[in-house]
């Protein structure tokens, strides 16, 4: 399946309406588990600059990933309450990235979500209900963009005797039918993609997106046999190829996608399918195995997936000149990394970096002046004019540093917080604070995450040729 340094006041209204509910409304206790890989890993995919690049749009809304991240933090003891300031919630809720897609000749924006699998769209004349109470509401209440009209398509085919049924741990749910349709995304067309057509929705959207495209493995597809969602049983899903899996198995697209997030809060960044975007970056890529991790509800049912890696550790110092040793050897001339071997999620839907508690505390203490812990909100606050410390995360024998511009986030007109916050024993998350400084490559064919350092400026700057 994160906001930038300055939050627009217009987004606070959305945060006010949505933020008090989702993490506190998660049904039952969540747990995480290691999942099996879905493919036989091959060699590293050769990375080439691709023309199949999508300019992403950023929307202020709870991302599905942030729902689970915040719920697991709360289980670990996060003290942030539902009455925390609206502005702070706007930073912590994360964000969604939207991509344009053409389906059956109709144009939509869809949420790009790395933690779920299905492509789905809300259909014309769908029934909207309050996702908390189940009470009927008008279509506007679900806050979708333009709905999909199957009757206006010449390429739509219904998939008989199957239904679409997906529920999220926060109470949101969608049901409908399954069908085949022509999907075009990033200049790549899949002529007959299986997808969900949503006829019944308990949903709170972002006002732009008409649906979602999942980039997780096929483990989480949500098709079931029969035409009645009420008769669907947990574990009875019928697996099918998600959109990107169809692209690389049937359309000849290399099995890799990559993400470069923009620092500019008005731009989302770029998503490249089958390669990397033409943005300035280091020619050196670090690689590390993907460890698929699942989130399970109290019944044991798998509801979400994360792309997870093992990091070499964390580097932080009050001095930018400090040299760190990314390897576990006895090089006494360089400082050692901290919290070696931590499992961490790569998640663009989360704004902040959620690190082990002692790491977050140490980083906050290195700001000048030092940060203070906000007991009311459960975060490390810093002066808006504070000087950030040097901070980086080691991956695959290389340390990737965070630009000082990303280390301090403005949560209101007068208040700021550190970009590195405690995970409270929950999930360590490498969110947008870190991801803005790298190209993140999801090499599905090799089951590897690969990263290259970005130059410290936004994607809106002029690009130069890359050397890979």
Please say whether the beta carbons of 432 and 66 come within 8 A: no
Answer whether 52's CB lies under 8 Å from 275's CB.
yes
Hey, which residues are catalytic here? 113, 347
By the 8 A CB rule, do 86 and 15 touch? yes
Phi then psi for residue 428, to 5 deg, are -80, 130
The CA distance from 453 to 448, in Å, is 17
Please, what's the largest Cα pairwise distance for the chain? Answer: 69
Beta-bridge mates of residue 443: 256, 448
Pairing type for strands 353-355 and 428-430 reads antiparallel
Give CA–CA dist 424/75, Å, rounded: 8
In angstroms, what CA-CA distances link 48 with 96, 269, 289, 425?
A: 27, 18, 20, 39
The torsion region of residue 23 among left (phi > 0), alpha (psi -120 to 50) and beta comes to: alpha
In terms of residues, how long is the chain? 468
Cα(238)–Cα(225) distance, rounded to whole angstroms? 7
Kindly list the distances between the CA atom of residue 341 and the CA atoms of 19, 225, 288, 374, 468, in Å, as whole numbers in the listed order: 33, 42, 12, 29, 28
- 112/212 Cα distance (integer angstroms): 6
Asked whether the beta carbons of 218 and 117 are under 8 A apart, the reply is: yes
């Amino acid at each position: 399946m994160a906001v930038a340094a300055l939050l627009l006041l217009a987004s606070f209204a959305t945060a006010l309406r949505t933020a008090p509910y989702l993490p506190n409304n998660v049904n039952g206790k969540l747990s995480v588990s290691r999942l099996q890989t879905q493919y036989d890993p091959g060699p590293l995919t050769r990375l080439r600059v691709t023309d199949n690049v999508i300019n992403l749009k950023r929307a202020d809304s709870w991302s599905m990933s942030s729902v689970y991240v915040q719920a697991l933090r709360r289980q670990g003891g996060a003290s942030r309450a539902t009455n925390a300031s609206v502005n702070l919630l706007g930073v912590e809720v994360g964000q969604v990235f939207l991509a344009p897609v053409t389906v059956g000749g109709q144009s939509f924006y869809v949420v790009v979500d790395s933690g779920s699998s299905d492509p789905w769209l809300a259909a014309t004349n769908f029934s909207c209900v309050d996702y908390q109470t189940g009470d009927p509401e008008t279509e506007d209440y679900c806050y979708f963009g333009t709905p999909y009209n199957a009757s206006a398509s010449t390429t739509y085919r219904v998939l008989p005797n199957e239904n679409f049924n997906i529920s999220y741990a926060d109470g949101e749910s969608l049901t409908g039918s399954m069908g085949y349709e022509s999907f075009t995304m990033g200049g790549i067309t899949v002529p007959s993609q299986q997808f969900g057509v949503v006829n019944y929705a308990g949903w709170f959207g972002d006002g732009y997106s008409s649906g979602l495209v999942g980039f997780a493995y096929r483990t989480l597809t949500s098709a079931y046999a029969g035409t009645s969602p009420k008769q669907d049983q947990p574990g009875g899903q019928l697996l099918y190829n998600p959109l990107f899996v169809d692209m690389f198995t049937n359309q000849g697209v290399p099995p890799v996608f990559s993400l470069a997030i923009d620092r500019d809060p008005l731009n989302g960044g770029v998503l490249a399918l089958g390669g990397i975007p033409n943005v300035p970056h280091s020619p050196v890529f670090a690689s590390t195995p993907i460890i698929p991790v699942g989130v399970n509800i109290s019944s044991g049912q798998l509801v979400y997936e994360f792309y997870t890696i093992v990091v070499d550790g964390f580097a932080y110092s009050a001095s930018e000149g400090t040299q760190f040793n990314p390897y576990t050897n006895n090089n006494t001339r360089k400082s050692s990394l901290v919290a070696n071997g931590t499992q961490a999620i790569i998640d663009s839907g989360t704004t902040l970096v959620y690190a082990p508690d002692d790491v977050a505390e140490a980083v906050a203490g290195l700001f000048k002046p030092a940060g203070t812990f906000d007991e009311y909100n459960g975060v490390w606050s810093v002066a808006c004019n504070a000087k950030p410390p040097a901070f980086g995360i080691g991956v695959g024998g290389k340390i990737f540093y965070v630009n000082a511009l990303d280390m301090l986030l403005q949560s209101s007109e007068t208040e700021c917080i550190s970009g590195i916050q405690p995970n409270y024993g929950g999930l360590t998350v490498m969110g947008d604070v870190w991801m803005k400084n790298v190209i993140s490559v999801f090499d599905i064919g090799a089951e590897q995450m690969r990263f290259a350092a970005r130059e410290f400026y936004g994607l809106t700057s002029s690009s130069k040729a890359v050397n890979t």
